[in-house]
Chains A and B, each alone.
Chain A
Amino acid sequence: MNKSVEILVVGGGPAGLAAAAAAKEAGVKAEDILIVERDRELGGILNQCIHNGFGLHTFKEELTGPEYAQRYAEKVQAAHIPYLLQTIVVDIRTGDGKDKGVCGTKYVTAMNKQEGIFTVEAGAVVLAMGCRERSRGALNIPGYRPAGIYSAGTAQRYVNIEGRMPGKEVVILGSGDIGLIMARRMTLEGAKVKLVAELMPYSGGLKRNIAQCLDDFGIPLKLSHTVVDIDGKERVKGVTVAQVDENRRPIAGTEEYISCDTLLLSCGLIPENELSAGLGVELNPVTAGPVVNESLETNVEGVFACGNVLHVHDLVDYVSEEAESAGRNAAEYALRRKPETGQGQQRAEKESAEICDMADAGRSAEAKIQDGLAVDGDEAPNSAAKQGSGIAVKTGRGVRYTVPSVLRPQYMQEEQVIRFRVGEVCREVELVVYFDGAPVMRMKKRIMVPAEMEQVKLKKENIEKHPGLKEIQIAVEQA
């Protein structure tokens, strides 16, 4: 199979579905869109998130994950947008205008059992691959390597899809939302959850999950604690938990052995950007997701990103919202790129030099990821320059990252959402927006926590009142 589409969406989870549906609504024909999903059904990870609490913003009701997924899947199906299941994208590359294809066109290579290996040509690509969980190995937890250590999401799949219990006596490391949800889920299914240990002095999960998943069942949460040893040569027999100091190092003498047959890990999510990196997309070392502009477009022209592959979200509602925006922008790009005659190639070749310069710039991004390694987390890149002329959005005090990180006013919507997260729990603070160093907005916040995504909305008209604006900074300051 070889085909050509205007927009190819990688991933059929909540982000991919919303992006595809929005692209259709923005004027791209359904048959010019293709969603490629690796699993056997649409909906992504929501299919195993059977708890409620999804959709309060989007649908004004509390849905479970599968119900939320179904709404978007039905939307895509009703719009007759084609999708491939159990199909994996193995490579995306951009044509070079020479022997490697039409300049600017994206060549997406995928595989599945029915069609084998095939390449789809796309005008625009929406990256919506989601994220994965941090592994035991990445956490470098010492001890034996027995069976019985699962990421919370793997355990969730076993319980909620396969109907299998991963264990009966459970310790959970990390208070991310999936871990909290699984604490309740395992308890309801008869397991004993002995402890949730959290390395940081604050929880990584939403407050309501702590209330409903731990407090309701009397499950203790120990902040500033971590697992320092795993016991058990074949199956987990127990773990040693210790308190950590302000540098997150275990404090000698605080060790406590807890017998258990299962250790669940809920220690953070990492955007899945292997494909993006291969394509030359520049990544932000803080989010591990692409650096994007106001259109959620990466440094590779015509490649957009949304959802957890861009930055890890707290609520799916925001994923959908962001993905719709990416889908609309991809549609606009595709429609702009496609000349009225339908002779895409001629037009593409005309722009060849320009676009291919961009692509060349993109190719160096893989090296940048390497550079980013040294950062180990705390400093956001200032890559506005690479996005061409635009207003740089920079992180001020207390702000870990922003999405997007550059705004081009001519492409902005009337209202531009800037999403970000704070680095630590802050109470009674002001969120301040600076235009070239001058404060233009101040918003009082009673509390801001790292577990929750924050946003500010900027009006296009306000930005247009500041011609020549170079930099917008977002900061959290004491009120």
Chain B
Amino acid sequence: MYDAIIIGAGVSGCAVARELSRYEMKVAVLERASDVCEGTSKANSGIVHAGYDAEPGSKKAFLNIQGSRRMEALSEELDFPYKRNGSLVLCFEESDREKLQELLERGRKNGVEELRILEREELTKLEPNISEEAVAALYAPTGGIVCPFGLTVALAENACVNGVEFHLDTEVQSVEKMEKGYRVESSKGVFESKAVVNAAGVYADAFHNMVSAKKLQITPRKGEYCLFDKTLGDYVSCTVFQLPTKYGKGVLVTPTVHGNLLVGPTAEDIADKEGVNTTGDGLEDVLKRGGYSVQKIFAGKVITSFAGLRAHEAGDDFVIGEPEDAEGFIDVAGIESPGLTCAPAIGEYVAELVRKRIPAAKKTDFIAKRKGIPSVALADEAQRREFIRKNPAYANVICRCELVTEGEIMDAIHRPVGATTLDGVKRRTRAGMGRCQAGFCAPKTVEILARELGKDMAQIRKNAGESTFFAGYSKEG
């Protein structure tokens, strides 16, 4: 019998796992994908929201502020990329200044610090490439950017090091209330647990509805993005949002923490919970709307595009806590934006809810700190020499665009909750994230994965299910 089963190894599930790993509890995370961070957590804006957006008094507002305040310290503790770059909300019409003012006041009510309005002159000083149409902006210096993969993987690794079990490729099929606790049936067998944390993203409604009569409905809300080459990484320095205009809800233009430029997302409610495809119209829309914020959108510098699904709940707020009729079943549902920002706070908040049901003592040997994979790209020459001295594979460059070495890929594979797929390696090391998009390094990475995992290359997957690379050998007929 487990103390807690967490369904879903996205950023919320991993944050809860990490917080629970502070206590003397038997905890397992069940994830249907082949890796952590395979759902909504991998395809979002990577923004640490300052917290002026959410309705005062909502869970979103409270957790946003808490999460935003904790992110920096957590990034140091768990060694993932985070940067406080500030955010701007652009106002394009004099008549919209009122809305900007409302946003400022809402932010202050929520407890966002240092908020202020910038007039055009100051705005262009801060952002020389900003659109000529922008008349003023709300400036939130506490806004930031984070690597969503880095955050999720760091939480998972640290949870794992502190004793949480991760069961990947393990799809939960049913959750059933027992006399005491829950029976969780999965593609890899049955798990019994005193408590269940439902962090299943767009599928959270399905599991909730298995145990509660008070039904929940999660609608996948698709967001499409275009990612640009690093030559544009400093085209803007802040994360640039738009006030909703006559053209609809705006998109953001932001540097990423790794120095690319990201533009998106669209917002479209869809029926398919697996509908992470981009569309011609969507991508066109992203580029068009992004163009409102800055002087030019360099369509020729797009290196990839992607779509993510926000788990939208009708009430427009996070659904966190026990349904009245399902004691010990804790929803972490409807975690759409600013969910990534909130993750550190959600982890703590939910861990407290679990502990109310399952009292457990604090571990005395909890390891709070985690060190990430040494990055050759970010290291100086002396550090590089040191990496190479420890492992010569750190001198063998596999991904040229992002300067990722064999040593880093080997490390990614052999860490706790290590990478077993091409995408898993990519998210942990950035191999294949550069301008050639794995054209050069994919065959080599697949070869290293096979070698390190003792498998044949044909068994290595891009990510889930049948996402293998080969249809047999040549000369087979």
Q: Could you tell me which A residues sit within 8 Å of B by CB distance? A: 38, 86, 88, 90, 109, 111-117, 132-133, 135-138, 140, 142-148, 151, 153-154, 157-159, 162-168, 189-191, 228-230, 233-235, 250, 261-262, 272, 274, 369-370, 373-374, 376-377
Contacts A373-B232, A373-B300; A113 near B393 (Cβ below 8 A):
yes
Inter-subunit contact A132/B396 (CB<8 Å): no
Cβ A111 vs Cβ B475 within 8 A: no
Q: Which single residue of chain B is at the shortest CB-CB distance from A135?
A: B437
Residue pair B384, A117 in contact (C-beta under 8 Å): yes
Q: Which residues of B contact A157 (CB under 8 A)?
A: 443
Among B18-26, B272-280, B342-350, the one that faces the other chain is B272-280
Asked whether, in the complex, the Cβ of B384 is within 8 Å of the Cβ of A163, the reply is no
Which of A136, A142, A147 sits near B279, CB closer than 8 Å? A142
Complex: A261 Cα to B471 Cα, angstroms: 9
Evaluate contact between A147 and B304: CB separation under 8 angstroms.
no
Q: B380-402 interface mask toward A, CB cutoff 8 Å, 1 = contact, 0 = none?
A: 01001100110011011100110
Asked whether A151 lies within 8 Å of B439 as measured between CB atoms, the reply is: yes
Q: Are A135 and B439 interface neighbours, CB within 8 A?
A: yes
State the Cβ distance, A305 to closest chain B Cβ, in Å. 18
Q: Assess whether A145 is in contact with B437, with CB atoms less than 8 Å apart.
A: no
Shortest distance between the CB of A221 and any CB in chain B (Å): 23
Give the chain B neighbours of A151 by CB distance below 8 A. 439
What residues of chain A lie closer than 8 Å to B400, measured between beta carbons? 38, 88, 272, 274
Report the Cα distance A116→B384, complex, angstroms.
Answer: 9
- Are the C-beta atoms of A166 and B469 separated by less than 8 Å? yes
Report the nearest B residue to A369, measured CB to CB: B231
Residue in B279, B280, B283, B396 whose CB lies within 8 Å of A113:
B396
Of B388, B443, B457, B475, the residue contacting A154 (CB under 8 A) is B443
Question: Hey, which chain B residues are within 8 Å of A191, CB to CB?
Answer: 471
B467 touches A90 (CB 8 A): no
Give the residue of A115, A159, A234 whose beta carbon is less than 8 angstroms from that of B466.
Answer: A234
Contact of A140 among B296, B305, B393, B474 (CB under 8 A): B305
Q: Which residues of A contact B247 (CB under 8 A)?
A: none
**Interface hits, B425-473 → A, CB 8 Å:** 435-440, 442-443, 457-458, 461-473
Contact among A88, A117, A165 with B471 in the assembled complex (CB-CB below 8 Å): A165
Given contacts A116-B388, A133-B436, A190-B476, contact A38 B468 (CB under 8 A): no
What B residues does A148 contact at CB under 8 A?
469
Q: Check B280–A137 contact: CB distance below 8 A.
A: no
Beta-carbon nearest neighbor of A374 in chain B? B296
Given A154-B439, A235-B467, is A376 in contact with B299 using a C-beta cutoff of 8 Å? yes
Chain A contact residues: helix, strand, loop or mixed = mixed
Q: Determine the distance from Cα of A377 to Cα of B301 in the docked complex, in whole angstroms.
A: 12
CB-based nearest B residue for A375: B300
- Binary contact track B246-286/A, C-beta < 8 Å → 1, others 0: 00000000000000000000000000001011111011000
> What number of B residues sit within 8 Å (CB to CB) of A?
63
> In the complex where A113-B395, A140-B305, A274-B401 touch, is A163 in contact with B461 (Cβ < 8 A)?
no
Q: List A contacts of B282 (CB < 8 A).
A: 142
| 8 examples of A-B residue contacts, CB within 8 angstroms | A113-B396, A142-B277, A147-B468, A147-B469, A163-B473, A164-B473, A165-B471, A235-B466
Contact with A along B48-68 (1 / 0, CB 8 A): 000000000000000000000
Q: A137 near B303 (CB under 8 angstroms)?
A: yes
CB-contact partner of A162 in B279, B457, B461, B466, under 8 A? B457
Closest-by-CB residue of A relative to B401 is A274
Q: Does B403 contact A (CB under 8 A)?
A: yes
Whether A373 pairs with B231 at a CB distance below 8 angstroms is: yes
Instruction: Give B110 Cβ to nearest chain A Cβ, in Å.
Output: 36
Q: Does chain A have a CB within 8 A of B351? A: no
Let me know if B470 and A228 touch, CB within 8 A: no
Given the interface contacts A135-B436, A140-B283, A146-B467, does A112 sit within 8 Å of B443 by beta carbon? Answer: no
Q: Are A165 and B389 in contact (CB under 8 A)?
A: no
- Inter-subunit contact B396/A112 (CB<8 Å): yes
Asked whether A116 lies within 8 Å of B305 as measured between CB atoms, the reply is no
Does B226 sit at the interface, judged by CB under 8 A?
yes
Q: Does A234 lie within 8 Å of B467, measured CB to CB?
A: yes
Q: Which residue of A lies closest to B230 (CB)?
A: A274
Q: Find out whether the CB atom of B471 lies under 8 angstroms from the CB atom of A166.
A: yes
| Most chain B CB neighbours (cut-off 10 Å) among A132, A138, A234 | A138
Residues of A near B191 (CB, < 8 A) are none
Inter-subunit contact A234/B304 (CB<8 Å): no
| A135–B437 CA distance with the chains assembled, in angstroms | 6
Bound together, the chains give a CA A369 to CA B230 distance in angstroms of 12
A174 to chain B, nearest CB (A): 13
- Does B227 make an interface contact (CB < 8 A)? yes
Determine the residue in chain B with the shortest Cβ distance to A146.
B467
Cα distance A165–B470 when bound, in Å? 6
Q: List CB contacts (< 8 Å) of B291-307 with chain A.
A: 296, 298-306
Task: Report B-chain residues with C-beta under 8 Å of the C-beta of A145.
Answer: 276, 306
> Does B477 sit within 8 A of A, measured CB to CB?
yes
Residues in B with CB closer than 8 Å to A163 are: 473-475
B280 to chain A: closest residue by CB: A142
Cβ of A133 and Cβ of B474 under 8 Å apart?
no
Would A142 and B388 count as touching, CB distance under 8 A?
no
Within 8 Å by CB of B457, from A164, A261, A374, lies: A164
Q: Are B300 and A189 in contact (CB under 8 A)?
A: no
Determine whether the beta carbon of B473 is less than 8 Å from that of A116: no
Residues 154-176 of B contacting A (Cβ, < 8 Å): none
Give A135 to B442 CA distance when docked, in angstroms.
12
The chain A residue sitting closest to B392, CB to CB, is A113
- Give bound CA distance, A174 to B398, whole Å: 27
Given contacts A86-B396, A113-B395, A137-B303, contact A229 B436 (CB under 8 A): no
Please name the residue on chain A nearest to B304 by beta carbon.
A137
Q: Report the separation of the CA atoms of residues A117 and B466 in the bound assembly, to the nearest whole angstrom.
A: 40
